Amino acid sequence: MLIDTHAHLDFPEFEGEIDAIVERAAQAGVTRIVTIGTSLESSRRAVAIAEAHPAIYAAIGIHPGSAAEAEPNTLAALRELADSPRVVAIGETGLDYYRLEGVDDDAVKAAQASIFQGQLELAAQCGLNVVIHQRGDCLEDTLRLLAPYRGKFRAVFHCFGGSPETAAALLALGHLVSFTGIVTFKNAALMQASATSVPDGSYMVETDCPYLAPVPFRGKRCEPAHTRQTAEKIAALRNQPLEQIAKNTTATAEAFFQLPR
């Protein structure tokens, strides 16, 4: 039984289809889903979806791409949302310099850092772990902002695409990584090397749907059922049976998100 640890079920691509999506996921052996908020409104929708579906949990957060929309009361509103027993993490949050590359936009970086730091504080207060979005040349800044919280919570570096060395460095700090369907792509040698090298218990699987559908669905709309293809690929890479991948990644996700077993 697999858990899709990163889905965006509140996105318009899935409107009116959640029941069918949960059903197809269950048929593929994906019995639980964490739906991830990307803005205050998206987080509110994520919590509503989780409250209506026993198989779905919510993470609430402000994606760095939504940092500019954050208002003075955004963090207080997130904090109120965190009272729902269906909320299992803060995120996705983090830094994204990908679109900034070549542009020195200190104001954008400062806005991202500010709302990221506020969410880390919230996670520490609520006793929740954090789902990290990290893209572009910002790993150093991400780790600098996380450093004061060592021992207070753990982070998962979602859609991990870095090297085995970077993965090992993150694990040494007590964090986790998770892998999307990109691991099934032909040109994903670095990610495949990381998915092969990380120890059992240190990684999870996810879709990031509606994006990043694994082979053979590449280019189509992704959905939680496709977690299975990602897990199958990781099983092949690691030379472990799918059942063992499922057992290990599910136990890791249950611990990280404090899910009932």
**Site residues, Zn ion (CB under 5 A):** 208
Q: Work out how close the CB of 159 gets to Zn ion at its nearest, in angstroms, rounded to a whole number.
A: 7
Q: Work out how close the CB of 244 gets to Zn ion at its nearest, in angstroms, rounded to a whole number.
A: 27
Report the residue number, 66 or 248, with the smaller CB distance to Zn ion.
Answer: 66
CA distances from 63 to 38, 74, 91 (A): 5, 12, 7
Report the residue number, 132 or 170, with the smaller CB distance to Zn ion.
Answer: 132
Q: Work out how close the CB of 14 gets to Zn ion at its nearest, in angstroms, rounded to a whole number.
A: 13
Report the residue number, 141 or 208, with the smaller CB distance to Zn ion.
Answer: 208
Report the residue number, 96 or 208, with the smaller CB distance to Zn ion.
Answer: 208
- 203-205/176-179 β-pairing: parallel
Residue 232 CB burial class (10 angstroms; 0-12, 13-18, ≥19): middle
Determine the residue with CB nearest Zn ion: 208
What Rg, from alpha-carbon coordinates, does the chain have? Answer: 17
Q: Work out how close the CB of 261 gets to Zn ion at its nearest, in angstroms, rounded to a whole number.
A: 25
Contact (CB, 8 A) for 121 and 82: no
Count of C-beta atoms within a 10 Å radius of residue 29: 15
- Bond prior to 199 in cis (omega within 30° of 0): no
